[in-house]
């Protein structure tokens, strides 16, 4: 069994995911992936035609974990487990990803106002090239949001690079009437499912 004193790689730049891993005592190194204009991205996150949100988030997470494992081998790094994740907001069966710009963020928040939506976060763990996946599904209900509140939320900067243009741990917390599911899953890393995967891989969390 591997102790939690050993480390894993996190194939994500997300500060929120790092904070959540730290919360449960998992030592980790960030595995930086390709995100520059001069090099192609490791994972193309464009949805496929007729692809369901569940199939999409599973596919992208698997691809991120696979790319992370490949990056370890290419860089000749120690082959510790690689954890990857992907989060999407789903409204009426449609994926709301990260906003392209301010106008797109406003459009998303107006659509979510006064409605229920789902947040899907898939996680994948690559160990010795084998990838196992888990999915967290959470239902979130927003109260009606005024245009002034939408603009204030976006002006704060929290809509940038966030699925659905909001962060549950930010100003948008004031919009939420009800959550059914995983708070940490909405943040981007469901801890229940993460611990399941790590323990199945022989990484002891509680000892």
Bridge partners (DSSP) listed for residue 90: 95, 118
**169: how many CB neighbours lie within 10 A of its CB?**
15
Query: How far is CA 205 from its chain centroid?
Result: 21
86 as an active site residue: the answer is: yes
Strands 176-180 and 130-142: antiparallel
With tokens 């789903």, the residue in question is 90
- Selecting among 55, 86, 92, 101, the annotated active-site residue is 86
The answer to whether 33 touches 11, Cβ cutoff 8 Å, is yes
Q: Is 164 left (phi over 0), alpha (psi -120 to 50) or beta?
A: left
**In angstroms, how far is the first alpha carbon of the chain from the final one?**
11
**Angstrom distance (rounded) from CA 123 to CA 65:** 9
The answer to whether 149 touches 190, Cβ cutoff 8 Å, is no
**Angstrom distance (rounded) from CA 119 to CA 65:** 20
**Any idea which residues carry the catalytic annotation?**
86
């Amino acid at each position: 069994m591997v102790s939690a004193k050993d480390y894993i790689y996190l194939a994500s730049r997300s500060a929120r995911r790092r904070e959540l891993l730290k919360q449960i005592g998992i030592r980790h190194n960030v595995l930086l992936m390709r995100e520059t204009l001069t090099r192609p991205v490791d994972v193309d996150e464009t949805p496929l035609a007729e692809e369901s949100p569940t199939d999409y988030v599973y596919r992208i997470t698997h691809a991120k974990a696979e790319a992370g494992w490949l990056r370890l081998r290419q860089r000749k790094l120690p082959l510790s487990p690689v954890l990857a994740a992907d989060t999407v907001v789903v409204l009426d069966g449609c994926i709301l990803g990260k906003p392209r710009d301010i106008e797109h963020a406003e459009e998303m928040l107006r659509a979510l106002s006064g409605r229920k939506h789902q947040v899907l976060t898939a996680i994948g763990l690559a160990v010795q090239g084998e990838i196992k996946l888990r999915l967290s599904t959470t239902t979130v209900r927003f109260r009606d949001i005024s245009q002034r509140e939408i603009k204030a939320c976006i002006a704060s900067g929290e809509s940038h690079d966030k699925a659905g243009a909001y962060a549950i741990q930010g100003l948008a917390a004031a919009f939420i009437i009800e959550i059914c599911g995983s708070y940490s899953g909405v943040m981007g890393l469901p801890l229940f499912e993460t611990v399941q995967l790590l323990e199945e891989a022989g990484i002891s969390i509680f000892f």
